[in-house]
Chain A
């Protein structure tokens, strides 16, 4: 792992950490959801400080360069996150629809009885 990539990892992790903590301060993100990003930052910092982890793993798995391994790992983690977000959005849509339906069904307007 090149020195510049290590610096970028740390800078990126620090920036993400600031954004996440700021979101919590402004009540824009729940702590449940912030944990993922904090762990992600922590992981990046650890890999940047101890590049031996990435080097060892990339050699073990047959990557040409440790940076390739880091990129792939980050992409994989983000794809998993994206998928879980997608299922969460689906669940939220269903719940919102169900709430709206139950709210609507609580007070139906009946047609007046037949005139005849």
Chain B
């Protein structure tokens, strides 16, 4: 099975090289593609100088579009599966083979790496938001997720096509709810994650509010019209 790790990167000069190195060392059989989403820092230069597999978006287009770029690449190069992998080093590549196994054995469309299944507790506001989204996804998509906001997800070829050709699909829980409601199989496997290894988080209040508003509105309202 040919698997592509799609790594969207926007201003990730602090950790992109280390993230790719550990991915390549841990999973030498897996291809990867960094999608440099119009970074204004040294990300592009690092990718060029180190000879890392990447494409450069000429402008910053946002995570959804950056991820879609990777999915278009995966589709055009005939990959069987693609895994959404953070550039900041949060995701641990050693779980990718287990995700691939789950994808095949359980004939799943989406496999999510769940911190909760691995025994971690999502505390504070993050935990509340996660449980709220979990409930909404369960109500509308009929699938119980322990860690819906986990950003480490593997998709099969059918999902690659959906993301590559679809309109306004985010690599977020609202799309998972949509896929589940339309009969797609979504499963979780236990996986630990670590703190981001460098760079800046976008988890400030205005981003969180916009993320929650968009995700909730998409799951509760807009998905019924899609």
Residues of A within 8 A of B (CB): 94, 96-97, 100-101, 103-105, 107-112, 114
Contact = CB atoms under 8 A, between A and B. Distances in A.
B33 interface: yes
A114 B27 CA distance: 12
Contacts of A112: 51
A101 B61 contact: yes
B116 to A, nearest CB: 33
A105 B73 contact: yes
Contacts, number: 55
B61 A96 contact: yes
15 contacts: A96-B59, A96-B61, A97-B61, A100-B59, A104-B69, A105-B55, A105-B72, A105-B76, A108-B54, A108-B55, A109-B47, A109-B53, A111-B32, A111-B52, A111-B53
A104 B55 contact: yes
Given A94-B167, A96-B61, A108-B33, A101 B51 contact: no
B56 interface: yes
B51 A109 contact: yes
B65 interface: yes
Contacts of A100: 38, 57-59, 61, 65
Contacts of B61: 96-97, 100-101
B51 A97 contact: no
User: Which of A96, A101, A105 neighbours the largest number of chain B CB atoms within 10 Å of its CB?
Assistant: A101
A96 B76 CA distance: 20
Contacts of B55: 104-105, 107-109
Nearest to A116: B28
Contacts of B167: 94
B108 interface: no
B76 to A, nearest CB: 7
